[in-house]
Amino acid sequence: MIESAPKLAQKDLSRLFLNNGYRKDSDVNVLIDRANEEYEYWDTVKYKKRPENCSAEELWKRIKVSRILMTAYTWDKYAVSFGFTNKMQRLCHEFDMNFGQGWMYHPEITEDSKKQYLKSSLMEEAIYSSMMEGAATTRKVAKEMLRKNKQPKDRSQQMIVNNYKTIQFISSQKDTPLSVELLLQIHRLMTDKTLKNEDDAGRFRTAEDDVVVYNVMEGETVHTPPDAREIQQFAKDLCDYFNDSNSTPYVHPIIRGIVIHFMIGFYHPFVDGNGRTARALFYWYMLKQGYWMTEYLSISRVIAKSKNTYEKAYLYCEADGLDLGYFINYNMKVLEQAYRELKEYIQRKQSEKRNSHQYMRLGYINERQAQVIQRYVDDPNEILTVKDLQERFSISPTTAKQDIVSLVERGLLKEIALNQVKKGYIKGINFDSLLATLN
C-alpha cells in the first residue's frame, strides 16, 4: 500500500505563495528541482538529506507548491492534472525531433531492412505486453511461433498471437477515429480465447463483475476502479479525447497519449485485458499523431523490465489526487529508453550486415544469401527452411527457394529431411573451405 503524503492546508498555500517561501532557500530549491526532475513521491522525499531548518514535511509541501505553479490541466472533466517539468518539456522536444524523422532515413538503412526491424519490433511488443499480464513462455519460443505463423498451443501463446494481430490491426486503422464500437473490437481481438469467460471479450464490465486490482505478493487490494455505471459515459468521453486534435488548453500529443494509457488502467473498463488494451491504445494514438517511429519501438519490453515501477506510478497518481506527473514522467523515461535501445539494435544489425558483405566476395552471392551465410557462421548448428527466409526477408517462396538452391549447388548448404514433406538446410561440405578462401 502506498503511504499517504502530508496534506497541503490552505494556510500552507498562503504562507508559501504570499511569502515566496518556496524560493527563499537555495539549498532547498536544489532539492525541489531534483525531486521534480524524477517526479518523486513522499515515500522517497522524506528520506532526503536536507537543511536542519527544513523538515521532511516542509520540503514536501514546497515541492507540491512548485508543482502547482507548473500545473497543466489535461482533462478537466476527470480532474486529472500534472506539473509540466523542465525534463518533460525537454523530452517532448527530443521526441518531436526523433520520432517523426531523422536517422531512419539514412541511405544505408534499406526498405528491406526497415521491414525486418518493424517485424522484429512488433513481435517484441506483443511478447512483452503479454508477458506482463501473465503469459508464461520464453521469448525464443514466442518469436519462433510468430515468425513461422504456428498455431498457439496454450493460453499464453494465444495472448501473444492476439497482441501481435491487434497491433497490426490498429496500425492499419491509424486514420480511423476511435469509437466505442472500435474500442470494444480492439479488446475482443486482444483477449480472444484467453479469458475465463469468453463472453467477457469485447464487452465492458458491469456491476455484477467484481473487478479490483489485487497485489498477490502483498495480499491486498491496491486499486478499486470507479463504479461500473460510469463506464459507458467514460468510454464516450475517451473517444472524444482520443479524437480531439484541437484541445484547449494545448497538451502535447505524447502526454495526451500517456493520459489515455493511464485512464484506461485507472477506470479498468473491462473484466480483464485492461493493461494490454491501454498500451495498444497509446501505441495507436502515437501513430495517429504522426510519430511513425513508434512502430519500431518495443515499449512494453522496457516496461516489463521495470514492472514494479510501472505499477507504482499508477498508485502514486491515485494517492496524490490524480496528479498524473508520476505516470507521465515514468512513461517518458520508457520512451527515451525504448528509443535508445532501437538505435543500438539497428546499429548492431547494420554492423552485422556490413560484416556479412565479405561473403559476397565469393562471387554470385546476393545480400540476402550473405546474411544467411552469416547465420551459419554465428551458429554452425543452424537449421533453416525456405519459409524462414521468406519471412525473414519478406520475399516470395520462389525467391527464397532460389536463394537456398544456389547455396546448396555450391556446397555452402546441404538439404536434409525434417519430416516426410518438409526440408531443412544445414552447413554444406564446402562451407568452411570456401569461407577459408576469403582470409
Q: Is 19 a residue whose pLDDT tops 70? A: no
User: Is domain 363-436 annotated with CATH 1.10.10.10?
Assistant: yes
Out of 7-21, 73-87, 200-214, pick the least confident.
Answer: 7-21
Q: Average pLDDT, stretch 124-134? A: 90
| CA-based nearest residue to 358, from 373, 347, 345 | 373
Q: What is the pLDDT of residue 100?
A: 62
State the pTM of this model: 0.86
Q: From CA 113, how far away is CA 119, in angstroms rounded?
A: 10
Q: What is the pLDDT of residue 397?
A: 92
Q: What is the pLDDT of residue 212?
A: 79
| Residue 86 vs residue 12, higher pLDDT | 86
pLDDT (tens digit per residue) in 309-345: 999 999 999 999 999 999 999 999 999 999 999 888 8
pLDDT (tens digit per residue) in 29-77: 899 999 999 999 999 999 999 998 889 999 999 999 999 989 888 888 8
Pairing of strands 71-75, 80-83: antiparallel
Q: From CA 407, how far away is CA 360, in angstroms rounded?
A: 12
Q: Is 16 a residue whose pLDDT tops 80? A: no
Q: What is the pLDDT of residue 93?
A: 93
pLDDT (tens digit per residue) in 411-427: 999 999 999 889 999 99
**Confidence label for 354 from pLDDT (cuts 50, 70 and 90):** confident
Structural element, H or E, at residue 426? strand 423-427
Q: What is the pLDDT of residue 9?
A: 78
Measured between alpha carbons, how far is residue 421 from residues 385, 424, 428 in Å? 12, 10, 21
Output phi, psi for 401, to 5 deg.
-65, -40
Q: What is the pLDDT of residue 97?
A: 87
Q: Average pLDDT, stretch 301-307? A: 93
Q: From CA 145, how far away is CA 151, in angstroms rounded?
A: 7
Q: What is the CATH number of domain 75-347?
A: 1.10.3290.10
Q: Is 1 a residue whose pLDDT tops 80? A: no
Asked if 314 and 328 count as a contact pair (C-beta separation under 8 A), the reply is no
Contacts of 363 (CB under 8 A, 6+ apart): none
| Residue 232 vs residue 104, higher pLDDT | 232
pLDDT (tens digit per residue) in 198-242: 999 999 999 888 787 766 556 677 788 899 999 999 999 999 999
For the chain, the structural domain boundaries read: 10-69, 75-347, 363-436
Q: From CA 223, how far away is CA 242, in angstroms rounded?
A: 24
At CA 433, angle to CA 428 and CA 436, rounded to 5?
A: 130
Q: What is the pLDDT of residue 376?
A: 95
pLDDT (tens digit per residue) in 256-273: 999 999 999 999 999 999
Q: Average pLDDT, stretch 94-115? A: 70
Q: Average pLDDT, stretch 151-166? A: 94
Q: What is the pLDDT of residue 216?
A: 56
Q: What is the pLDDT of residue 20?
A: 54
Q: What is the pLDDT of residue 437?
A: 93
Q: Do domains 75-347 and 363-436 have the same CATH topology?
A: no
What percent of the chain clears pLDDT 90, i.e. is strictly above it?
Answer: 63
Q: Average pLDDT, stretch 9-36? A: 75
What percent of the chain clears pLDDT 70, i.e. is strictly above it?
Answer: 94
